[in-house]
Amino acid sequence: MHEITSTAEKPLAGYLVGLRPSGMAEREAREHLDELEQLAFTFGVPVVGSEVVPWREPHATYLVGSGKAKEIKMAATAADADVIIFDDDLSPSQQRNWEKLTGLAVIDRREVILGIFGDRAQTREARLQVGLARAEYSLPRLTRAWTHLERQRGGGSFRGGAGEAQIEVDRRIVRLQITRLKAELKHVRQVRATQRKARLEIPLPTAALVGYTNAGKSSLLNALTGAEVLEADKLFATLDPTTRRLTLSNKQVVLLSDTVGFIRKLPHTLVAAFKATLEEAQLSTMLVHVVDASHPAVMHHRRATEDVLAELGSKDKTTVLVLNKIDLVAPEERDEVIQRLGEGCDHVVAVSAVTGDGLEELAAAIGELAGLSLQRVRLRIPPDRGDIVSLVHREGRVEDTSYDEETTVLEAVIPRRLSKKLEQFMSASKAKEIMENSTER
């Protein structure tokens, strides 16, 4: 069995292989490989070489033809690589065939992303989700000789035995681990559902920050709300959902949630695994779709995000498109870039989370869209319901206060969910009078 050791002095060196199907432009294939290089860097594997392989159809043994496989082996060996990384999924048998052919570790894009997620997960739920995804990925691959690579990146400590009996023992261990992780996740999600139910009882509009990884969502959240969310020039710098209160100029409050960044070829198992953070996009009142306006592949990134949103059933939500990093676009090109990138979108704002340009306009746009759920009301509140007076002041916008005999009369603009809650509170005394049964825009 081959063994390699990654040390601080000599990290594992990677050789990247991308496939270019018929009909795909060379530039697009190279963009995919550039992104894989970023993923490898984030994973802690520097790249010493790469190539794009023209590809017509999958081959059962190596995914590519045997002749091309031998060429890749020679190129990776010449580059002194320790691991070959494919940009497309390899089956367990293909990985075993590659490792037998090359004598090197051979992994695919999915395994790299799993490793990154394992490094980045902070909360108990995220760690459980990563553990489950990795266990399910590893189960059919237990006969591989390179499970030590997974161990050193923080994965499960699966033992690769030489005998069939040991393999069966390992499989049983992993299956038990999968069962245990699913049970723990079920419990954690029940707790989270209870917490979310309590949060939804607070009738505030909610907005979810979504977008391609590294588009600047965390930076934007920090700039808008003063949060202290980790910012890093790496893919998947943050994985766990973070929610902060955004107070608008009219004193209205919106709950703004950061979510995990999307990416092209995001494995479906990971979409399912990170349901916790993605649920913020599903349950939010509106979406704030952040794109990196300076990135040459920005339209591909936007489509990749929209594809995942469609998979989540959230693509048709009210959305404001945020063209972030506009400061990195040449001043003379900004108008054309804004017009091109914003085509087909009803609400577009160009901002820079670094310089602060456009943040006021973005907050105003969020307020306007969140305002679609507001209602103007007149409330006659009994003297023993000071809690309702406080609630309206806290969650709505009180425009006038007066007193009629012993009751407090408030004229206010409040979220519709709060309006329904107040109706339940005050229906017995019939103290609620709707002044204007229309939505404020």
CATH of the domain at 271: 3.40.50.300
User: Does some domain include residue 131?
Assistant: yes
Using DSSP's 3-state secondary structure scheme, residue 378 falls into strand
Choice between 356 and 415, residue whose per-residue pLDDT is larger: 356
What pLDDT is recorded for position 376?
81
Q: Which of 88-97, 131-140, 189-198, 302-311 has the highest mean pLDDT?
A: 88-97
Indicate whether 39 belongs to any domain.
yes
Place of tokens 């959230």: 314
pLDDT in tens, 259-303: 777 777 776 666 665 655 566 677 788 899 999 999 988 998 898
Domain that holds residue 326: 201-371
Are 256 and 343 part of one and the same domain? yes
Q: Return all residues near 429 (Cβ < 8 A) that are at least 6 apart.
A: 382
- The least confident of 71-80, 159-168, 275-284 is 159-168
Give pTM, 2 decimals. 0.68
Residues 290 and 405 in one domain: no
d(C-alpha 78, C-alpha 109), whole Å: 22
Q: What per-residue confidence (pLDDT) applies to 344?
A: 84
Min mean pLDDT across 15-24, 132-141, 155-164, 235-244 is at 155-164
Spatial contact of 145 and 191, defined as CB atoms under 8 Å apart? no
Question: In the predicted model, what is the mean pLDDT of residues 333-353?
Answer: 91
Last-in-domain residue among 71, 96, 120: 120
**Triad 280, 282, 284: Cα angle to 5°:** 60
Is 7 within a domain? no
Q: Is 41 exposed, middle or buried (0-12, 13-18, 19+ CB in 10 A)?
A: middle
Which CATH number fits the domain that encloses residue 413? 3.30.70.240
Determine, yes or no, domain membership for 6. Answer: no
Same domain, 365 and 426: no
User: Where is pLDDT greater, at 173 or 196?
Assistant: 173
* Same-domain check for residues 358 and 339: yes
- Inform me whether the pLDDT recorded for 312 exceeds 60: yes
Query: Which residue among 200, 219, 241 closes a domain?
Result: 200
Given a contact cutoff of 8 angstroms between Cβ atoms, the answer to whether 127 and 117 are in contact is no
Q: Are both 232 and 177 inside the same structural domain?
A: no
Which of the listed residues 321, 341, 371 is the one where a domain comes to its end?
371
Q: For residues 25 and 42, state if they share a domain.
A: yes
Are residue 191 and residue 232 in the same domain, yes or no?
A: no
Q: What is the count of structural domains for the chain?
A: 4
Q: Based on the fold, state whether residues 362 and 270 are members of the same structural domain.
A: yes
Q: Are residues 138 and 26 in the same domain?
A: no
Average pLDDT value for residue range 351-379? 85
Among the residue ranges 19-23, 60-64, 157-161, 423-427, the one predicted with the least confidence is 157-161
